[in-house]
Structure 1
Amino acid sequence: MKVGIILGDQLSYSLPTLAALDPNHDRLVMAELHAEATYVKHHKQKIALIFSAMRHFARDLEQAGWQVDYYHYGEHDFSDFASLIAGRYRDAEEIVVTHCGEYRLQQTIEQHWEPACGILVTCLDDRRFLCSPGFFQQWASGKKQLRMEFFYREMRRHTGLLMEGDEPVGGQWNYDSNNRQPYKGKTPLPPELRFKRDDIDEQVLVLVAEQFADHIGTLDRFQWGTTSAQAQQALDHFIKHRLPHFGDYQDAMVTGEDTLFHSLLSPYINLGLLDPMTVCQAAEQAYFSGEAPLNAVEGFIRQIIGWREYVRGIYWLLMPDYAKENRLGDDRPLPAYYWTGETKMHCMAECFRNTIDHAYAHHIQRLMVTGNFALLLGVLPEAICQWYLEVYADAFDWVELPNTLGMVMHADGGYLGSKPYAASGSYINRMSDYCKHCHYNVKTASEADSCPFNSLYWHFIHRHRQQFAGNHRMKMIYRNLERMDSAKVEAMLQRAETLLADPDAL
């Protein structure tokens, strides 16, 4: 008998582990483990989503004829998979598992499972992704800097998505410049999608409330689908109601509107409940059938076959050293409001509210608000990386770490992105209504009530002049700084120093 281990983010019928085993003779093992649920203090909704999705997937496997041993949280004494295998499956002829999404756990699988259990362990390549680590390594070989745009074009050719022969549909590879409109309320917002909760969901919600009470977040607004069928519903809902306007408003932010036209599909894709190629093909078909414009469809597909595959490639190419990168020498702790949400900065408070209530915030809220602020403050990259891993339902190490350390914090020296995503409050003001409701004045940078983003932005630019003055994409910024009145610059820097002395007071 062989034993297949299925991890919590491998809930897919196309999982290589399933293809390698025989349901008539082999067993599958799934387990809710304390070590995996608590190595960081994951958001309550993230734990609830994973546990409930795992239980539903195990039920579906059993109905499909598989023999599944499922270990519920709190009903066994095994802290990790090695102890579980050694305790229950010593008679197995082989342990089969698919390559996991986290370097930490993958090293444990490769280095410790077999010696600890005395059983052959076979680790299979995860073919659910569209770009293998080997393909990415070959593409990256010899390049001093990597650029997602060029990788994305390779992936378009590789997948055939939105292609006419060797050329992109519409004559352009990228329509990002069309996708930066603020939302003014004229376009009706999509209807909300709600899922009916079953006994499995309810049992998990009770469990998480009791066992993870000190973790961030609330379960009151838990709205995630927990089955492959519900994930498919979410995809259908996005294609019909959200995709047509996704491109125009994907960077927009509005007070009280937590999702706008975003897909909310990333947790399902990252868990395995949705196949990324299937998702992209559904979006592509919406364009060809006239249901969604090209700028929306291209922008959405780029997020999946571009960024998603790109950051995974970087993760497995550069780990474990990548996690230690800190090229800007940042060392400040995260302010307390990253957990409480209590701050007078309205933009930050809105993003934290969304995060705490839903284990969700869209990419601009993460990159240009909470992430941008951590960059401007000079937060220790490890601290903000751990926070993002904890608080978002779609956050797994392979996707969270490069996005945060490289794209948000520019801690890799520009390997992932050519310039830091640093911005003043003017960007937030242009893309949202947040500043209209704020305690601080977005129009000034040196007064006592000035927007903290403004003075901290110029402090960031000033203190990192040596690193960035030669960056061709930032030369205009430094020319603007040189033209400023010296007294004005000094006043902005002094205001920033005051903020840096006590960022928790903001």
Structure 2
Amino acid sequence: MTTIIPILGDQLSPTISSLKDADPATSVIVMMEVAEEATYVRHHKRKIAFLFSAMRHHAGALRAAGWNVVYQKLDDPDAADSFTAAVARAVSAHGATRIVVTEAGEWRVAAMLESWETLFGIPVEIRADERFLCSHAAFDAWADGRSELTMEWFYRDMRRKTGLLMDGGKPAGGQWNLDRQNRKPADGDLFLPRRKPCPPDDVTADVLALVAARFPDHPGSLESFDFAVTAEQAKAAEDRFVTDALPAFGDNQDAMVTGEPLLWHAHLSPYINAGLLDPLALCRRVDAEYRAGRVPLNSAEGFIRQIIGWREYMRGIYWREGPDFTRRNHLDVHRPLPRFYWTGDTDMHCLSEVIGQTLDLAYAHHIQRLMVTGNFALLIGADPHAVHTWYLEVYADAYEWVEAPNVIGMSQFADGGLIGSKPYISSGAYINRMSDYCGGCRYKVTERTGPDACPFNALYWDFLARNRDRIGRNRRLAGPYRTLDRMAPETVDGLRRQAADFLDTLDASGAPY
């Protein structure tokens, strides 16, 4: 009576639900590096290396804990090229009588798991992923009957459910959301926390060589790879964030600074999403730091909201809306992403900076993603599915369940307002206020037309003008539309010609990779 327990690449938790009640004497854990998963989009080299190394280290930890682990490396001579083929081989080799697996994080993989019982002719038990605090059924129960699925109300319910930052039945400090305190611009005189890198060990060095050889055409760099790849290393990264960066995280979480990709951000999302860190345990620790007086409330609340608010909410939306969500295109736009999204080669310093660090590190923080790369893609009318694919490729923390709602809904407004109450657009003024990027740019952020004008400025007004039929009645855009209507017709014409000329140049710059 052998049970096969497949462990997927984002299930690197020793307490994963598929292992609960399992008997090591009659169970075989199957883990696999497969080409299909590395190439269904062109994942960043650093992302592939992180996951393969973390998987190999996790397999070693499971063996040390007494489990029988069958592990397929990508470069094994007889490596199967898909999850299903690898599991089929294990079922046959071990005479398995059943399969137990934790539910997948993506529709694509979920369909694969659901096919196994028919394919293999043995029972397949698909268990809930208990690392999430809100089950699919619980989210649907919350959403049913609501005219608007506002994240803030979901977040408040999650605070009540978990007790995080709660004083009895009321929020700590008397307010649920302190986001207005967390929008301070970049300060030129910064004393920043410095993170300790994790030098590659022999296991990681082997993976880096494999990825360099097998995926040379994938985006990104492997230089100075320093990701945590074990639970112990991830916990050390958590310790450093909580001690050194979290106290100032709230005030500065929206700031952007040239040459400083991490700032006060945690950079823990790759480890949380892969299973190396427990999100609830991390939030409880942040709560405790606030209670102990070591972290201000706005920092603790801002961080916890990202985990039990946005992260859980995005997962709920993803599974509720269905597998066609990534194809939504409310604004009916189809421009390819510019070539420089894969090179960083552009005179717009903000984009060059954010894309450059993305290619180097497979990381950018949430404002860089939303208000620089996402904002620009929305303003130019980029195809939202192409934008979604790019984000899924280039970020180490990107899994479709969390990335797609953020991009399709929050960033590109392609869902028509299901997630975001308005399109998140801005001219160059916002980027100038929240960063030092404009000071190092060849364009002038104060100019709207002419050869030196910041492209964001004309694109912003052109976006409003050309999309008026679709978003003109959005109450949160009433102010910008009043401003547009007060402009002289020749001013609007000049802005729209400036935008059209820029877009023509952009289109002529070459097809994307």
Give the count of matched residue pairs. 505
Q: 2:107 corresponds to which residue?
A: 103
Letter in 1 for 2:239: D
Checking the alignment, whether the CA contact within 8 Å between 1:469 and 1:478 is kept in structure 2 is yes
Residue 503 (structure 1) shift: 1.5
Structure 2 gap ranges (5+): none
Residue 447 (structure 1) shift: 1.2
Aligned partner of residue 338 in structure 2, secondary structure: coil
Q: Given the alignment of the two structures, is residue 421 of structure 1 paired with residue 424 of structure 2, yes or no?
A: yes
- Residues in 1 aligned to 2:432 and 2:189: alpha-carbon distance in whole angstroms: 18
State how 1:314-333 maps to structure 2 within 5 Å: 314-333=317-336
4+ runs deviating over 6 angstroms = none
Q: Given the alignment of the two structures, is residue 461 of structure 1 paired with residue 464 of structure 2, yes or no?
A: yes
Q: 2:229 corresponds to which residue?
A: 226
Aligned partner of residue 405 in structure 1, secondary structure: helix
Residue 65 (structure 1) shift: 0.3
- Residues in 2 aligned to 1:500 and 1:188: alpha-carbon distance in whole angstroms: 40
CA deviations over 1:118-154 (Å, ceiling 9, x no partner): 2221111111101111111011101222111111101
Q: 1:246 corresponds to which residue?
A: 249
Checking the alignment, whether the CA contact within 8 Å between 1:5 and 1:29 is kept in structure 2 is yes
Residue 196 (structure 1) shift: 3.3
Checking the alignment, whether the CA contact within 8 Å between 2:3 and 2:98 is kept in structure 1 is yes
Q: Given the alignment of the two structures, is residue 386 of structure 1 paired with residue 374 of structure 2, yes or no?
A: no
CA deviations over 1:248-267 (Å, ceiling 9, x no partner): 11000011111100000000
Aligned partner of residue 476 in structure 2, secondary structure: coil
- Residues in 1 aligned to 2:427 and 2:188: alpha-carbon distance in whole angstroms: 24
Q: 1:283 corresponds to which residue?
A: 286
1:193 to 193, 196, 201: 196
- Residues in 2 aligned to 1:430 and 1:482: alpha-carbon distance in whole angstroms: 25
- Residues in 1 aligned to 2:178 and 2:336: alpha-carbon distance in whole angstroms: 37
Which range moved further: 125-134 or 189-198?
189-198
Question: Percent identity at matched positions?
Answer: 52
Aligned partner of residue 254 in structure 2, secondary structure: coil
- Residues in 2 aligned to 1:78 and 1:20: alpha-carbon distance in whole angstroms: 29
Q: 2:22 corresponds to which residue?
A: 21
Q: 1:377 corresponds to which residue?
A: 380
- Residues in 2 aligned to 1:92 and 1:335: alpha-carbon distance in whole angstroms: 50
State how 1:130-169 maps to structure 2 within 5 Å: 130-169=133-172
Checking the alignment, whether the CA contact within 8 Å between 1:16 and 1:124 is kept in structure 2 is yes
State how 1:66-105 maps to structure 2 within 5 Å: 66-75=67-76, 76-90=78-92, 91-105=95-109
- Residues in 2 aligned to 1:249 and 1:492: alpha-carbon distance in whole angstroms: 33
Q: 1:56 corresponds to which residue?
A: 57
Aligned partner of residue 31 in structure 2, secondary structure: strand
Checking the alignment, whether the CA contact within 8 Å between 1:336 and 1:504 is kept in structure 2 is no
- Residues in 1 aligned to 2:54 and 2:304: alpha-carbon distance in whole angstroms: 25
Checking the alignment, whether the CA contact within 8 Å between 2:315 and 2:401 is kept in structure 1 is yes
1:172 to 172, 175, 200: 175
Q: Given the alignment of the two structures, is residue 47 of structure 1 paired with residue 48 of structure 2, yes or no?
A: yes
2:434 to 431, 435, 448: 431
Aligned partner of residue 93 in structure 1, secondary structure: strand
Q: 1:3 corresponds to which residue?
A: 4
CA RMSD of aligned residues (A): 1.1
State how 1:486-501 maps to structure 2 within 5 Å: 486-501=489-504
Letter in 2 for 1:88: A
Structure 1 gap ranges (5+): none
Q: 2:488 corresponds to which residue?
A: 485
Checking the alignment, whether the CA contact within 8 Å between 1:82 and 1:117 is kept in structure 2 is no
CA deviations over 1:75-123 (Å, ceiling 9, x no partner): 033111222222331320001110011101101111x222222222111
In the superposition, the TM-score normalised over structure 2's length comes to 0.97
Letter in 2 for 1:159: T
Aligned partner of residue 101 in structure 2, secondary structure: strand
1:292 to 291, 295, 302: 295
Letter in 2 for 1:389: L
Residue 182 (structure 1) shift: 1.4
Checking the alignment, whether the CA contact within 8 Å between 1:221 and 1:358 is kept in structure 2 is no
CA deviations over 1:45-79 (Å, ceiling 9, x no partner): 00000000000000000000000000001203311
Which range moved further: 291-300 or 79-88?
79-88
- Residues in 1 aligned to 2:11 and 2:21: alpha-carbon distance in whole angstroms: 15
- Residues in 2 aligned to 1:38 and 1:469: alpha-carbon distance in whole angstroms: 40
Letter in 1 for 2:359: I
Q: 1:346 corresponds to which residue?
A: 349
Q: 1:446 corresponds to which residue?
A: 449
